[in-house]
Amino acid sequence: MPDVDLPQLRALLAVVDEGSFEGAAHALHLTQSAVSQRIRALETAVGQVLVRRTRPAGVTAAGAVYLRLARQVLGLEAEARAAVSAAPGPGRPVLPVAVNSDSLGTWVLPALAPLADEVRFELHREDQDHSADLLRDGVVVAAITTAARPVQGCTSHRLGVLRYRPVVAAARAGTDFPDGPTPEALAAAPLVVFDRKDDLQDRYLRERGVDPAAPPRHHVPATADFALAVRLGFGWGLLPEADAAAGEREGALVDLDPGRHVDVTLYWQQWTLPTAALRRTGDAVREAAAAALR
């Protein structure tokens, strides 16, 4: 591996995290020209293009290797700097972590809160079926994911099962599903999905023998707003078991298909990076998951 220095790695990390050379210059208190020079010097040393000059900026396959190196080296440096500093501050390690929206909006933030004075978290909201890609690309150092097999250079720990139940607003149940969730009714009734990566409703429809492309759908990419849209009657949707039960108790929601559910098994994957910040974060997430998940 060619010789690289910390300023070059810091520039690479800033360009990716900030999404542009301009943003990196602002974050590093440098000129944009200085950032460009550092990136060019690193690419010259490596002999390959590392940064994709797009908006937002990204990395090539070779760049992902060096982005991972940058996070590892600078993470260890930040922890060393924090260890010899009496007061918390900019020296605190930065941990980019990918979390699925439903976990982020329920049990993950309370789990991380006790560490907020020691670690600067950079949380990436990403669908659990896709978050492992961020680990592979070096964008994050840990992720909640459905991938059980460890990404290269990572460990994997089973967190538990997040159960989802199909529910519909009480006011719509009789209109959209007069005879229950028949294939004909499911093919015609509108549904609510989180975003275009959300496959939960499609999984349920396939299990019921319905073409997922048939029903009209609303996209509502925010956890609280998603649940609210279902309550307001935009369409039926799959909600985490606790949210579904709360809506039923209030009389706002009806269990669309009693006894049926979609289970999502979640795993915690993290780099094998020997830092106290990453170790303590992993411990906190696993402990909270044991109480929150099945």
Token pair for 10: 């810091």
Helix (H/G/I), strand (E/B), else coil: 154: strand
Per-residue pLDDT of the chain (294 residues; tens, 9 = 90+): 567 789 999 999 999 988 999 999 998 999 999 999 999 999 888 888 899 888 888 888 888 888 988 888 888 887 777 666 654 445 577 899 999 999 998 899 999 999 999 888 999 999 888 899 898 888 899 999 999 999 988 999 999 999 999 999 999 999 999 999 999 999 999 999 998 888 999 999 999 999 999 999 999 998 889 999 999 999 999 999 999 999 999 999 999 999 999 999 999 999 988 788 899 999 999 999 999 999
**CB 114: neighbour CB atoms within 10 A?**
10
Q: Locate the domains of the chain by residue range.
A: 1-86, 93-294
Return the CATH number of the domain spanning residue range 93-294.
3.40.190.290
Q: How many CB atoms lie within 10 A of CB 213?
A: 9
Asked if residue 195 lies in contact with residue 219, where contact means CB atoms within 8 angstroms, the answer is yes
CATH classification (class only), 1-86: mainly alpha
For residues 83-104, b (16+ Cβ closer than 10 Å) or e, as one string? Answer: eeeeeeeebbbbbbbbbbbbbb
Note whether 253 and 166 are within 8 A (CB): no
pTM: 0.79
Are the folds of 1-86 and 93-294 the same? no
